[in-house]
Structure 1
Amino acid sequence: MQEHWPHPPVRVERRGVSEAESRAANGPDWDRYADEYQATHGEFLGDAGFVWGPEGLTESEAGILGDVVGKHVLEVGSGAGQCSRWVRSQGGLSFGLDLSHRQLQHSRRLDEQTGVAVPSVLGTATDLPFADGSFDVVFCSFGALQFVQDIELAVAETARVLSPGGRFAFSITHPTRWMFPDDPTEAGLVASQSYWDRTPYVEVEDDTGQVAYVEHHRTLGDWVRVLAASGFVITTLLEPEWPAGHDRLWGGWSAVRGRFTPGTAIFGCTKAPTGKPNAGPRRA
């Protein structure tokens, strides 16, 4: 669940939602939340910084993207473009895409403040407005993927715009975290939901009945299956530990929870040189 911001009263449900419902809810939700998000987390993220998650692991430390010098790089769910701006500072040619118009306005603001411009477009992960093989690297740092219902299409779109042998990396809420309440205190350390329950988390406005926010859960096995089906070979899976002395509270992430269970999963993959999907089992 998001932090709190001006928003009509909502009730929480666990139920199926379509891709159209997810998109219609999450775009306006991020438009409402963008100002507070940047005010609250902007300093931690850095105007031209690359942080993979609330634990504070940076790309400089992780090295999941590899050498980006001279490479064409796409950030899906780019927000204010902090990560893409860091890529440009390292010699990469990065571009951003986000579903939220307000987040892209913040990206433009930081372009002007830093003097490092990230060309960015309004769009969705399931319909990337780029030609086949346009990029050497695609990444997503806690961006679009967990807000997408049709994840197979989103990953296939990533594979389409990547050149053969290209790199795909992304961070998401660690799947095991969905077993626990969205509570960063000791009270939230009791498993209360099945890890295998993939029913989306949904917030519904009380007064209108409209879906206001959606987040989708997949298991680690689901991610392996989806990535393999689109021709990706997984080379990295990081589960960052909560650093000692790091006292930042971010939604359900905290030092209290982080001592016992991972909050973030970071995947690194390579597109098969042939571009052909890998054979693999499918979940019924």
Structure 2
Amino acid sequence: MSEIESVGYRHVPDAEGGAAGRGWWDAHAAEYLDEHREFLGDAGFRWGPEGLTEAQAHLLGDVAGRRVLEVGAGGAQCSRWLATRGADVVATDVSHGMLAAAARLDAATGARVPVLQADARALPFADASFDVAFTSFGAIPFVPDAARVHAEAARVLRPGGRWVFSVTHPLRWAFPDDPTTRGLTAHRSYFDRRPYVEQDASGRVVYAEYHRTVGDHVRDVVTAGLRLLDLVEPEWPAWNDQVWGGWGPERGAYLPGTAVFVCERPA
């Protein structure tokens, strides 16, 4: 594993930034899932660190008997939960490490879902082959060309199909990554779209995460031919005392941490 030499917000070539995610998640998949196992659950479906579940929100609609695609699935916890609700679900992720972790979760829970290694920007599925597609904090933040993810989601959806995705709330990018009240003072421009980048001693990009404003996300989905139905901003619930990176109850009482966009392909 490469030692991190420098971090910060800077421009990097799209090809380097877009390729870094696969290696980072391959290296950190087991660690990440072990750290968050209790909160994520082996068969749960949360839209973000606030803890909003699909069982509460019903953003995908009735999935029983429907063909469902998860992109950026990680350990496929969401897909596993949907399968128990009668969905015909397929989970994809670009990281082999994450898919290996998903296989271990399958073995542990006995709830198996089909998984496939695939880039969300080039899905190996036929046009109009799914009723629902979604991602919970997957794919979109880790590529410089998220418009391609939305275009692929639109392509594989049947008319009337739903595309739902959650991301770090764009407002949060103006604030330091601090879950306490010290993180309530903006220190960057909301309109500074330079990605957060980690590089090793040789200057190689080993991690990149991309910021988009609310308007950027809306334009991306509209350009893909999708219609925005709703924008959900989960409030921090009283029961959740977990601190997860920049998310936590102190700052969560004041600032949104997650945005969930609910879209559909017009009939």
Instruction: Look up the match of 2:40.
Output: 45
- Paired with 1:7 and 1:248, the residues of 2 have a C-alpha distance of 29
Residue identity matched to 1:270: E
Say which of 11, 24, 32 aligns to 2:19. Answer: 24
* In the alignment, structure 1 residue 269 sits paired with structure 2 residue 247: no
The alpha-carbon distance between structure 1 residues 120 and 262, as it changes in their structure 2 partners (threshold 3 A), is same
User: Is 1:260–2:254 an aligned residue pair?
Assistant: yes
For residue 112 of structure 1, report the CA deviation from its aligned partner: 1.6
The secondary structure found in structure 2 opposite 1:80 is coil
Number of positions where the alignment pairs a residue of Structure 1 with one of Structure 2 = 267
TM-score between both structures, scaled by the size of structure 1:
0.91
Aligned partner of 1:237 in structure 2 is: 231
One of 72, 85, 89 as aligned partner of 2:84: 89
Q: How does 1:1-284 map to 2 (within 5 A)?
A: 8-205=3-200, 207-273=201-267
* 3-state DSSP of counterpart to 2:36: helix
RMSD of aligned Cα (Å): 1.2
User: Contact 1:146 / 1:172 at 8 angstroms: preserved in 2?
Assistant: yes
CA–CA distance in structure 1, aligned partners of residues 45 and 5 of structure 2: 32
Aligned residue in 2 for 1:281 = none
Name the amino acid aligned to 1:195. Y
Higher mean alpha-carbon deviation, 253-262 vs 184-193, is at 184-193
Q: Kindly tell me: are residues 18 and 154 of structure 1, through their superposed partners in 2, closer, same or farther at Cα, counting changes over 3 Å?
A: farther
Distance 1:60 1:10 in 2: 42
> Which secondary structure does the structure 2 equivalent of 1:245 belong to?
coil
Q: Which runs of 5+ in 2 are unaligned?
A: none
- Deviation digits for residues 16-74 of structure 1 (CA, Å, limit 9, x no counterpart): 23442123211111111111111111121111110000000000001100000111111
| Contact kept? 2:4, 2:198, Cα under 8 Å | no
Identity of matched residues, %: 53
Counterpart residue type for residue 265 of structure 2 = K
How far is 1:15 from its partner? 2.2
Can you list the C-alpha shifts for 1:181-200, whole angstroms capped at 9, x where unaligned?
11112222110011111111
Instruction: Give the 3-state SS of the residue equivalent to 1:242 in structure 2.
Output: coil
| Contact preservation (8 Å) 2:29, 2:97 | yes
Q: Hey, which bits of structure 1, 4+ residues long, moved more than 2 A?
A: 15-20
For the 8 Å contact 1:50–1:83, the answer to whether it is kept is yes
Structure 1 unaligned segments of length 5 or more: list them: 1-5, 274-284
For normalisation by structure 2, the TM-score amounts to 0.97
Aligned-partner residue type, residue 70 of structure 1: G
In structure 1, distance between residues paired with 2:63 and 2:38: 24
| 8 A contact 1:74–1:96 mirrored in 2 | yes
Q: Residue 237 of structure 1 aligns to a residue in which SS?
A: strand
- Aligned partners of 1:163, 1:46: CA distance in 2, in Å? 30
